[in-house]
Amino acid sequence: MTAPVIVAGGSLAGLALAGALHRRGWPVRVIERAAGPPRDRGAGLGLDLALLEAALGADGLAAMPRLPIDERHEYAAAPFDGAPPRHVRHDRSAAQGQVSAWQHLHAALAAAWPGTPEYGATLADARADASGVQVMLEDGRVLQGAALLGADGHASRVLPQVDAQARSVYAGYLLWRGFVDETALDAGLRKRFVGPVMHLFAREPFHCVVYTVPGPGGAAEGQRRLNWGWYAAVPDADRRRLLAASGEHDDALVIGAAALPAADRAAWVELAARVWPPEWAELVAATAAAGALFGNVVRERVPATATRGRMAVFGDAAHLLSPITGAGARLALRDALVLEAGLPAAGSDAIEAALARYANEQHATAAAMQRSARGWARRLLRAEPVEADTA
């Protein structure tokens, strides 16, 4: 019997890999450190329909809740004086023309793989040789596999096995985020923001976006959510202070709504009132009042290599990029599909070659996306990566 490929991580990248391996006939074992399935996460994401159909199949794509983006309303004037926004018409078939939310993509990928992650299974160590891998778990179990694929996020425990020198750096800016049920918005905010329009506000050194996504119940009117994000340059010393005040580790990516100190929450609400149009400032204030304002610390990492023998890393474990690239979910899907395209039939010893081909192709893609994101941040936010950061 063919030994299974062990996938560390049961989030988007891990489930996409499980589906790709299954389609090629490989047995798969997904281990996930979390105690159970993820809770509702409403953060929005743009969709690449071609990638989704390849990963989910036509029926899976059709069943996934999503909404169109027909127009982009760009507000570029400063100060905001009520002038009409610039409109850029969008083709609904374009990759950026449809949006959904994280939990819906996670559910669709889970449905596309006829298996279930093993929750509460935390990787402690791993060894590989020419015949396979040994994966040691913190509970003392030892798993045997044909290969180990790390899809275990920015704090990957597989990455050090692949590239011990890989480090992430602080990109120089934060992304403040929020999502609010449309039924919780007053009539003015619903009329202003809810619908098939992506609103983009730029006021150097800030940039923000607002668009409507399906809520937990689906994409029908009354079930949707308003999703927004505000990019802001933040000095490294202020980032460190904010993380410490929030009780987070210095290399944390998320400042949870419940952990955000009241004084910092109030300061960002007050800043929004000074720099954004009234409707935007009202949206930030309403989100904060609902206890739903949270932050993402933007970090970047593109390791020198994503594979070593029968071990490889995927998704955020392999290439940690700014959300402005839209890369998180789409690059995770593309990682899995690139591997699938070069994957031998189950049982073949050529799996190492397939992993190496994946790593070479995706490294070039991730490096190009990182350069693009840094150029955007330098131009619009006046933000530079903190290269001395060693976390």
pLDDT band at 279 (very low <50, low <70, confident <90, very high): confident
Mean per-residue pLDDT for 335-352?
Answer: 88
Q: Is the pLDDT of residue 92 over 70?
A: no
Give me 103's structure tokens: 């939990």
Give me 365's structure tokens: 């893609």
Asked if 359 and 306 count as a contact pair (C-beta separation under 8 A), the reply is: yes
Q: Is the pLDDT of residue 202 over 90?
A: no
- On average, the pLDDT of the chain sits at 90
For residues 308, 14, 227 and 379, what is the CA-based torsion angle, rounded to 10 degrees? Answer: 10
Q: Is the pLDDT of residue 371 over 50?
A: yes
Mean per-residue pLDDT for 326-352?
Answer: 87
Mean per-residue pLDDT for 93-104?
Answer: 76
Could you tell me what percent of the chain has a pLDDT over 90? 72
CA-closest candidate to residue 109, choices 375, 383, 315: 315
**Least-confidence region, from 30-39, 85-94, 158-167, 245-254:** 85-94
- State phi, psi for 350 to the nearest 5 degrees: -85, 10
Amino acid symbol at 103: Q
pLDDT of residue 19: 97
pLDDT of residue 246: 95
pLDDT of residue 326: 72
* Each residue's pLDDT tens digit, 130-142: 889 999 999 999 9
Asked if 167 and 387 count as a contact pair (C-beta separation under 8 A), the reply is: no
For residues 29, 34, 40 and 41, what is the CA-based torsion angle, rounded to 10 degrees? Answer: -90
Q: Is the pLDDT of residue 89 over 70?
A: no
pLDDT of residue 94: 44
pLDDT band at 290 (very low <50, low <70, confident <90, very high): confident
Cβ-count burial of 165 within 10 angstroms (0-12 exposed, 13-18 middle, 19+ buried)? Answer: exposed
Q: Is the pLDDT of residue 81 over 70?
A: no
Could you tell me what percent of the chain has a pLDDT over 70? 93
Q: Which CATH superfamily is domain 5-35+120-167+301-380 in?
A: FAD/NAD(P)-binding domain (3.50.50.60)
pLDDT band at 154 (very low <50, low <70, confident <90, very high): very high
- 68-97+169-299 domain in CATH 3.20.20.60? no
Q: Is the pLDDT of residue 237 over 80?
A: yes
pLDDT of residue 221: 95
pLDDT band at 93 (very low <50, low <70, confident <90, very high): very low
Q: Is the pLDDT of residue 389 over 80?
A: no
Residues of the chain with CATH 3.50.50.60: 5-35+120-167+301-380
For residues 355 and 344, give the distance between their C-alpha atoms in angstroms, rounded to a whole number. 10
Amino acid symbol at 230: W
SS (H, E, C) the chain: CCCCEEEECCCHHHHHHHHHHHHCCCCEEEEECCCCCCCCCCCEEECCHHHHHHHHHHHHHHHCCCEECCEEEEECCCCCCCCCCEEEECCCCCHHHEEEEHHHHHHHHHHHCCCCCEECCCEEEEEEECCEEEEEECCCCEEEECEEEECCCCCCCCHHHHCCCCCCEEEEEEEEEEEEEHHHCCHHHHHHHCCCEEEEEEECCEEEEEEEECECCECCCCCCEEEEEEEEECCHHHHHHHHHHCCCCCCCCEECCCCCCHHHHHHHHHHHHHHCCHHHHHHHHHHHHCCCCEEEEEEEECCCCCEECCEEECHHHCCECCHHHCHHHHHHHHHHHHHHHHCCCCCCCCHHHHHHHHHHHHHHHHHHHHHHHHHHHHHHHCCCCECCCCC
For residues 170 and 389, give the distance between their C-alpha atoms in angstroms, rounded to a whole number. 7
CA-closest candidate to residue 100, choices 218, 214, 216: 214
pLDDT band at 74 (very low <50, low <70, confident <90, very high): confident
pLDDT band at 391 (very low <50, low <70, confident <90, very high): very low
Q: Computed over its alpha carbons, how large is the radius of gyration of the chain?
A: 21
For residues 4 and 118, give the distance between their C-alpha atoms in angstroms, rounded to a whole number. 14
Q: Is the pLDDT of residue 200 over 90?
A: no
Q: Which of 13-17, 43-47, 380-384 has the highest mean pLDDT?
A: 13-17
Asked if 69 and 194 count as a contact pair (C-beta separation under 8 A), the reply is: no
Give me 310's structure tokens: 């029968």
pLDDT of residue 77: 53
